Structure 1
């Protein structure tokens, strides 16, 4: 392994330490031609269903490729796993790749889900005095550091004439953030579905704003660079399977929710409401979406949220 690769990995792990807390680090592993290691989050419904039905395993078996799955709590941790060689492929939102690339992660954008802005929002307690985005000034707002909603908050505040420095960010994982909102130790919470749908249904939380007209809320499929270069056939099969799975979810939302309920630990009606906010339609990575990622990266650099300027198109196969 080259010194520069080792150094970039060490820098990456150090930069994410504040985000990941005491999370265990995956062990390093090399590219294996006959394995396809997928990272997923439980909230990533299409991938979760693909895992549950075993379709991909059946399609890759004739190629001699074995599929394995690793669950991660959120996008930043998944990208850590991708960077240190624990997985080959994963699904995250728009902000985690920016943080990871700035910290030296070596991955490539593979595909994206068309915009899903209604799938994230800012919520407050039902009896909160906060009635609008403007009322967030000076308030404690919880969200997962380095995740989709990190960018959403930045963009939302700017749209309403506020700056990121006008709020007090409280970096919490979804479960901890919900608990903090319910005990009123934070004033608001920025979160994505199905957590958003769940807290609105179960705690009667009130939506202040979603990302409509604020952020695209793209979701991305990312690949470890060497795997993407050497196993384009596997990536193509996986994306085809995901596209078909996504189409099935769109046409059978209630049945998809019923299948996901025992996996995600939520009522099927809540999951169905969250699924309706996603498009489940995937496109190959292209220049316009990389330009949108560049705008996010530039904004994060200006706010000193990432340590250096990056060029997002560097994270795409030539």
Structure 2
């Protein structure tokens, strides 16, 4: 299967355990991922470790540049499951998808500017490149609010991540809202870049990434959802226990050098399936998702958000 690897495109532009029972009947499944460490690592581990087959799935994995495109693909029935970062969680909160598992909590998003810029105020009236509807977009909204500014103060240029990198490298834009590993790619071409904001500047929020599916899939095919969750549980446990090996597996899966992923891999928190089950039972994950939804309402993405209990299938995950 041919994959387009957007990390490699950006670089060019800038320069198991047996803990889970196997299921015998095999189902075809189309699974989306994003070509960075946190967006691809669980899928890469599941593929390398043979977990799809173990749990009764024949997986066709498909690369996407962001989460909203995957939810769009779910809606057109061209994808069965996808991976989204925190910036796309407004879509499940608006009833467009169901969260079936949490992948990680991240800190890889950054607002960047050219050398000499000291604050967001210095970017007033200037071009800032942003992949729309992503975690970078969300962080930009938080940073602007904290600075007493709005999007109208900037000239927003929407683009996919690889184009954001090339636009910054070629001097077409003055700032960017992007995430690792693209931050490293930009830094290599522009060593003097300034970091204006990051997720950790907003400690009142957790920034979860999640696996999602179409609401109809949960209703009509809960057994398929169960198989997918079982794969992600086991892949997540393996990733948590083997971080260095996971970087290599993910790099091989994406066709990039492992060094490209090493920094990004330190900018997220992984969990065991047991820990995520406990957090599903005690409401912790719902509080993370509700916190994200409150941001989207405040930023105007949503008029009103569903409560997380309506779109996170905690019961299926625990089972």
Task: Give the TM-score taking structure 1 as reference length.
Answer: 0.75
Kindly state the Cα deviation for residue 251 of structure 1 after the two structures are TM-superposed: 4.2
Q: Secondary structure at the match of 1:39?
A: strand
1:14 corresponds to: none
2:183 maps to 1:193: no
Distance 2:227 2:91 in 1: 28
2:83 maps to 1:91: yes
Aligned residues: 274
Retained in 2: the 8 A contact 1:59–1:237?
A: no
Distance 2:239 2:54 in 1: 20
Deviations 1:250-306 (A, max 9, x none): 4433332233334434432231111111212273664312311321231232xxx55
2:54 maps to 1:59: yes
2:259 maps to 1:269: yes
1:260 corresponds to: 250
1:296 corresponds to: 295
Q: Unpaired runs of 5+ in structure 2? A: 1-25
Distance 2:255 2:187 in 1: 16
Task: Give the TM-score taking structure 2 as reference length.
Answer: 0.75
2:222 maps to 1:226: no
Retained in 1: the 8 A contact 2:251–2:257?
A: yes
Distance 2:111 2:255 in 1: 22
Q: Unpaired runs of 5+ in structure 1? A: 1-32
1:22 corresponds to: none
Retained in 2: the 8 A contact 1:40–1:70?
A: yes
Retained in 2: the 8 A contact 1:78–1:90?
A: yes
Bigger RCO of structures 1 and 2 (CA < 8 A, at least 6 apart): 2
Q: Secondary structure at the match of 1:141?
A: strand
Retained in 1: the 8 A contact 2:65–2:161?
A: no
2:195 corresponds to: 207
> Structure 1 residues 130, 264: closer, same or farther in 2, change over 3 A?
farther
2:15 corresponds to: none
1:315 corresponds to: 311
Q: Secondary structure at the match of 1:115?
A: strand
Kindly state the Cα deviation for residue 68 of structure 1 after the two structures are TM-superposed: 2.5
CA RMSD, aligned part only? Answer: 2.7
Match for residue 280 of structure 1 among 264, 270, 287? 270
Match for residue 30 of structure 2 among 37, 40, 44? 37
Distance 1:171 1:136 in 2: 16
